[in-house]
């Protein structure tokens, strides 16, 4: 048996550990390295080692489950003491001591009846067993420590040297909000020191890109304790960035046949009763009373668009009607989930509703998918699509749901677009395609969404005059490309680490005049640029030239332009490339051509 053998993988792709496989196993061996299978075994065993260390340090602890997850492993447990981040070092130290004891990891099997007796005093283990249907259970033992576990595990503790406990958190038992809160410790493990170090470095780098940190550094947005949680303020730099994004999207909507509309922020509660929001989404809505009538602040923009559609009679010739709005919505998110701009209580959706005939659904959905694709390509985002089906809280007939869900799947399948299924993840009024993009920290965020809805048109009596002069009901497709400006900008900030492409940068050019006599020239250029829709600043503060260049360089601005006697005389500019620190000169005309070309890149 190889020194580095830690398990096997069988024909079905299942991992067998050496304890289970025994001698002379013929399945494909798994060596101790950073392969997916090897790390699964290593991380699972590290979770057990952590549990053993916690048991020695805090003897009254009881353990629930300790699985391997995308980002490492965790173990949930109940403990009398309070554990904080500061205690992790102590647990790590104990783990290292245990490794030195060179325990073997042994496995034995017992019947479920035996197990129920063995763990009779451990209600958490009993809870674990409730989920297991097998009659035979396996126990893994290292030193005095035993744990009910399905495995797989490494053969000995010596394979567990390269780990790090990363954070402490609370977690509901079984993920149930009403259940007891257990303590959870997360950790990560690799087969070698270098990989562990690289992983920790990657986390550090990701932290530097955090949109909350860069947002503060670049004065993009802020939150204010006195004003309330989850309510973002856009400062001038952030507002300029956002305006540019809005402008790009305005044009993109118009060329695709969308018409701008705008509905009120607040509507009578009866409208929300009709729509079903009151019943299905009411707990997330802000309600108020005006002249003894109940009103609700909109959490979605659908109703406004429906009322506008209904205002004039529509013919089949008018379809599809596409309304879009940068709709400000308010939702009562739980205080604990608020997270920078990624999760807020007031945000603006790039929302649109397409009213079309049922036989137009497939074409319209594909058009939206194309729209999503061009936006994602513009920013260089990878994304995945997911079809979400009927949730528990829902309105409408099952048959209608089935029809709409199939319509979405067909549209994607016919165009050979890959997708996964999210069972029960749909909106309460219809199934949807979610577009998820990955941020700099590897987290996936739902941004775009395409939802087919037969229910709201029915509830609001929306209709059009068909070819045979009868009244028919249109289908509504709800869709957003960015999802919300807040979330999308957060992801953009992290994606670009604040170094936005020219067409998005809040300040696109900084002029540094060499001395006071060149300020007027710089200011004239600034005005010329502004007329072309380009934002620039003139750094004419009473600081040394070097200081002003340094300050300008630190601003993550695409162009730093130096102007002195030579430039004034030659009607030119000296451009500094912020990355290479190289300089080149252009005439004013060449400069304007270069900048307007870069603006063009933002057109989709």
Partner RNA sequence: GCCCAUAUGGCUCAGGGGUAGAGCACUUCCUUGGUAAGGAAGAGGUCGUGAGUUCAAGUCUCACUAUGGGCUCCA
Residues 499-518 that bind RNA (CB under 7 A): 513-517
- Which of these segments, 7-15, 121-129, 134-142, 537-545, binds RNA (CB under 7 A)? 537-545
Options 478, 518, 548, 576, the catalytic residue: 478
Q: What is the DSSP string of 541-566?
A: SSS-HHHHHHHHHTT--SEEEEE-HH
Query: Which DSSP letter does residue 312 get?
Result: S
- Which of these segments, 5-13, 413-421, 460-468, 574-582, binds RNA (CB under 7 A)? 574-582
- Cβ closest to RNA, residue 316 vs residue 445: 445
- Cβ closest to RNA, residue 239 vs residue 329: 329
Q: Are strands 536-538 and 475-480 parallel, antiparallel or unpaired?
A: unpaired
Options 331, 345, 436, 578, the catalytic residue: 331
Phi, psi of 424 (to 5 degrees): 75, 15
By CB under 7 A, tell whether 484 contacts RNA: yes
**Least Å from the CB of residue 171 to RNA:** 4
Q: Are strands 346-356 and 475-480 parallel, antiparallel or unpaired?
A: antiparallel
Options 349, 360, 508, 555, the catalytic residue: 349
Binders of RNA in range 435-464 (CB under 7 A): 445-447, 449
Of residues 257, 262, 243, 246, the one with CA closest to residue 325: 262
Question: CA-to-CA distance for 117 and 48, rounded, in angstroms?
Answer: 22
Of residues 177, 67, 79, 70, the one with CA closest to residue 131: 67
Options 353, 390, 436, 479, the catalytic residue: 353
Q: What is the DSSP string of 430-484?
A: B-EEEEEEE-TTS-EEEEEEEEEESHHHHHTT--EE-TTS-EEPPEEEEEESSS-
Q: Could you tell me the two tokens for 265? A: 């922020």
Which helix (H) or strand (E) segment holds residue 354: the answer is strand 346-356
Among 113, 423, 566, 589, binds RNA (CB under 7 A): 566
By CB under 7 A, tell whether 167 contacts RNA: yes
- Cβ closest to RNA, residue 116 vs residue 203: 203
430 Cβ neighbours under 8 A, 6+ residues apart: 396, 401, 404, 451, 452, 453, 454, 455, 478
Among 387, 477, 480, 504, binds RNA (CB under 7 A): 480
Question: CA-to-CA distance for 310 and 279, rounded, in angstroms?
Answer: 24
CA distance to 383, 445, 571, per residue, from 436 (Å): 5, 5, 48
Question: CA-to-CA distance for 270 and 252, rounded, in angstroms?
Answer: 35
Binders of RNA in range 342-401 (CB under 7 A): 342-345, 347, 349, 391
- Cβ closest to RNA, residue 35 vs residue 384: 384
- Which of these segments, 56-64, 110-118, 243-251, 335-343, binds RNA (CB under 7 A)? 335-343
Q: Within 13 Å, how many C-alpha atoms sit on residue 187's CB side?
A: 31
By CB under 7 A, tell whether 168 contacts RNA: yes
- Which of these segments, 118-126, 152-160, 317-325, 535-543, binds RNA (CB under 7 A)? 535-543
- Which of these segments, 174-182, 367-375, 467-475, 502-510, binds RNA (CB under 7 A)? 174-182
Cis peptide preceding 152, ω within 30 of 0 = yes
Q: Any bridge partners for residue 422, and if so which?
A: 388
Of residues 387, 497, 473, 476, the one with CA closest to residue 433: 387
Residue ranges of the alpha helices (H) in 119-192? 123-130
Options 43, 149, 210, 302, the catalytic residue: 302
Question: Is 339 one of the catalytic residues?
Answer: no
**Least Å from the CB of residue 143 to RNA:** 29
Question: Is 432 one of the catalytic residues?
Answer: yes
Options 351, 422, 434, 439, the catalytic residue: 351
State whether residue 44 is helix, strand or coil.
helix
- Which of these segments, 131-139, 172-180, 265-273, 315-323, binds RNA (CB under 7 A)? 172-180
Total residues at the site for RNA (CB under 7 A)?
A: 79
- Cβ closest to RNA, residue 142 vs residue 301: 301
Question: Is 25 one of the catalytic residues?
Answer: no
**Least Å from the CB of residue 235 to RNA:** 11
By CB under 7 A, tell whether 545 contacts RNA: yes
By CB under 7 A, tell whether 229 contacts RNA: yes
- Cβ closest to RNA, residue 184 vs residue 244: 184
Binders of RNA in range 183-222 (CB under 7 A): 183-184, 212, 216
Residue labelled with tokens 């602040």: 297
Q: Could you tell me the two tokens for 269? A: 């509660």
Of residues 68, 61, 105, the one with CA closest to residue 186: 68
Question: Is 349 one of the catalytic residues?
Answer: yes
Contact mark string toward RNA, 73..92, x via CB under 7 A: ---------xxxx-------
Question: CA-to-CA distance for 604 and 248, rounded, in angstroms?
Answer: 7
Question: Is 543 one of the catalytic residues?
Answer: no
- Which of these segments, 17-25, 93-101, 114-122, 480-488, binds RNA (CB under 7 A)? 480-488
Options 184, 432, 548, 578, the catalytic residue: 432
**Least Å from the CB of residue 576 to RNA:** 4
Among 1, 120, 170, 254, binds RNA (CB under 7 A): 170
What angle is formed at CA 438 by the lines to CA 436 and CA 440, rounded to 5 degrees? Answer: 160
By CB under 7 A, tell whether 336 contacts RNA: yes
Contact mark string toward RNA, 257..286, x via CB under 7 A: ------------------------------
By CB under 7 A, tell whether 410 contacts RNA: no
By CB under 7 A, tell whether 549 contacts RNA: yes
Residues taking part in catalysis: 302, 331, 349, 351, 353, 432, 478
């Amino acid at each position: 048996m190889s020194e580095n053998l830690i398990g096997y993988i069988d024909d079905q792709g299942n991992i067998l550990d050496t304890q289970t496989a025994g001698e002379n196993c013929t399945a494909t061996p798994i060596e101790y390295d950073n392969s997916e299978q090897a790390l699964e075994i290593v991380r699972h065993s590290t979770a057990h080692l952590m549990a053993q260390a916690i048991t020695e340090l805090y003897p009254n602890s009881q353990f629930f489950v300790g699985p391997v997850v995308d980002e490492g492993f965790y173990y949930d447990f109940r403990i009398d003491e309070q554990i904080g981040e500061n205690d992790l070092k102590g647990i790590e130290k104990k783990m290292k001591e245990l490794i030195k004891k060179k325990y073997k990891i042994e496995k034995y099997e017992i019947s479920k009846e035996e197990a129920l007796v063995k763990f009779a005093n451990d209600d958490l283990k009993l809870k674990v067993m409730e989920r297991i249907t097998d009659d035979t259970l396996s126990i893994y033992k290292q030193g005095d420590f035993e744990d009910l576990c399905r495995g797989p595990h490494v053969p000995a503790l010596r394979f567990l040297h390269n780990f790090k406990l990363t954070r402490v958190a609370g977690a509901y038992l079984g993920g149930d909000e009403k259940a007891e809160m257990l303590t959870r410790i997360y950790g990560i493990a690799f087969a070698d020191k270098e990989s562990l170090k690289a992983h920790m470095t990657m986390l550090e780098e990701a932290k530097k890109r955090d949109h909350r940190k860069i947002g503060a550094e670049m004065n993009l947005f802020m939150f204010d304790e006195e004003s309330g949680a989850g309510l973002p303020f856009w400062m001038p730099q952030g507002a300029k960035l956002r305006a540019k994004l809005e402008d790009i999207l305005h044009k993109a909507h118009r060329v695709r046949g969308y018409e701008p509309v705008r509905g009120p922020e607040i509507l009578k509660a009866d409208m929300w009763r009709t729509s079903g929001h009151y019943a299905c989404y009411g707990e997330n809505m802000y309600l108020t009373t005006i002249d003894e009538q109940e009103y609700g602040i909109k959490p979605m923009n659908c109703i406004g668009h429906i009322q506008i559609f209904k205002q004039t009679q529509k013919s089949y010739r008018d379809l599809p009607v596409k309304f879009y709005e940068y709709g400000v919505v308010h939702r009562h998110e739980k205080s604990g989930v608020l997270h920078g701009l990624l999760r807020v209580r007031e945000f603006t959706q790039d929302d649109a509703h397409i009213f079309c005939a049922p036989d137009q659904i497939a074409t319209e959905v594909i058009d939206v998918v194309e729209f999503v694709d061009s936006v994602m390509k513009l920013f260089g985002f990878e994304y995945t699509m997911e079809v979400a089906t009927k949730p528990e809280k829902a309105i409408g007939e099952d048959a209608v749901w089935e029809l709409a869900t199939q319509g979405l799947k067909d549209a994607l399948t016919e165009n050979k677009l890959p997708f996964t299924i999210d069972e029960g993840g749909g909106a309460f009024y219809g199934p949807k395609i979610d577009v998820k993009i990955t941020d700099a920290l590897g987290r996936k965020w739902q941004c775009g969404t395409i939802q087919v809805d037969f229910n709201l048109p029915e509830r609001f009596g929306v209709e059009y005059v068909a070819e045979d002069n009868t009244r028919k009901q249109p289908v509504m497709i709800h869709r957003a490309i960015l999802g919300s400006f807040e979330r999308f900008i957060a992801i953009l900030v992290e994606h670009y680490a604040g170094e936005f492409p020219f067409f998005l940068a809040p300040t696109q050019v900084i002029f540094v005049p060499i001395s006071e006599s060149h300020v007027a020239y710089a200011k004239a250029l600034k005005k010329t640029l502004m007329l072309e829709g380009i934002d620039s600043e003139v750094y004419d503060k009473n600081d040394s030239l070097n200081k002003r260049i340094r300050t300008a360089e630190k601003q993550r601005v695409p162009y730093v332009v130096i102007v002195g006697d030579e430039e004034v005389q030659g009607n030119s500019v000296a451009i500094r490339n912020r990355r290479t620190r190289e300089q080149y000169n252009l005439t004013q005309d060449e400069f304007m051509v270069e900048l307007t070309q870069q603006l063009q890149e933002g057109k989709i």
